Structure 1
């Protein structure tokens, strides 16, 4: 085995030990397995990228939920203060009435009764006084119940916020671990890139027809008609050379794999999910033998579709490969091909 492959395999082994997740099967010790080794290294990096992107998205969603919950807590606190103020106001009013009754020896209320003209008037006045007293108490009870409801609402929101904060801390811990794993992958990445050029000699031959096709449609890049697949492919190729960026969804600073396909589709009014886990459910499934330009192609497993690209025809696809790389055209020869989805009709 040559020294370069030895170093690559050693770096791969170290990266798997360092991270909590085994990212690929061990590479066989075979001097003739150089291409498979390089493919395994690249798949490892894609898996790590995908996991980091997932945790980053979870953390971002978490932060939005925390912000919304904290705003709700603030609003609820205001409601609680208003409820307490209203309750205290009614209590004060009730106490003043009771105090007046006590000071006047209940003369005020008694006078009302004594001034009744007849038994019917007495009953009516008595009923009125009872209702007045009950109204005071009912009003206080109503405000007290409202205060209790608002207080319970605040307690539930605080509990929810505490749960979200704990989840945020957990995600940040995962992200730290994954970023540490990323550092351990740097040597792996450098050796993988040194082991092959952007396109090997055999790849150049395989992609010759694809490049001829791309050259013939480049004038259509300014079109935005989703029915013109040539325009879709031409537009996608305008981003060749754009850097891969974790969580990237725009040309600057760059794209991740699913951010790139989402961006291209959105340009033509086609809405698809943000991640590979979302996009693998978009559109309709297509067999590998029925692939057409514009189809999204996925790699990995059903439980972990860690990479996506766009088929351009001629056995090739355009994609944002992994950290440290750029958007490029590659031959569709990978061993971890999973499935394809048609999102352009």
Structure 2
């Protein structure tokens, strides 16, 4: 009997002890699990925070690039509009030249016809030689009359011949003007085509930037661009002017990096010409502006960009814009050609900014917003233009 009663009691004790042991082991297991979940959650939060910061930086960089590219497209479109206006004016001038040429041709034909009629009339009158006419005179009075008639004939003939010779020379000059005008028009058409190609290149660059963003990032980008677009380009340039002046005052050396010599003193022949240099320079559209920068990463300042582009084609330029203003040879604004260096006084009275002239009052340079095209006729650049230097031989 006792053994029967103890068996259930032992079993109960065993069950209780087992339950206690089981319960005791489960408490730390849950704590560890919670700590693990907390660690994982914290890790995910940090990762998300990092992603958000990375996205913010990425969108910020993309915004700066897109703003520079949009501004470049606007400057290039302004250039195309000027080229179209010039093309229309040149075509109208050519039309006027061709009309004048036709009038000269009509006048020449009239003189030739008059000369032909004059010769035909004298031939039908039986006049063979002037001497024969004189010798046939019957009296002194008749001789004088005949001499006057001969003088009139000779005078009329000579005048017609002279008029025709003058018209021929005028027509030859006019044809030269027409040929020159056609060449000018063809050059303008080519400039316009090159500018349109630059616009497309810029748009393609913008698409590349946008393609690197997610849908959410693009939404953020569009909002950022829309907000920053309200700030005028000139205000940003003035802010950069103050930034450069502050760096110069602090003694920050813009000439940081290798100088690559004192810079070319004359002009250099480049295979492919200025257009090849401009096309290479356009590859860096949207590259950030960095004070003292001489490379694409982290970025360029104005003279660092120009030096980098020309060095790629074997042309050595000085480091700073002030030093570059003594490179090459002087060129007047009215004689500017693509590839010339254009200089401006911004935060100082000397040459404190430089860009590459691409034609039709447009330049490509590294300024506020990074590498971009700029319209030299806008109020900021127009009032600060200093001069130009030529380093590429024609």
Which has the higher Rg, Structure 1 or Structure 2?
Answer: 2
Q: Normalising to structure 1: TM-score of the pair?
A: 0.46
Q: Normalising to structure 2: TM-score of the pair?
A: 0.41
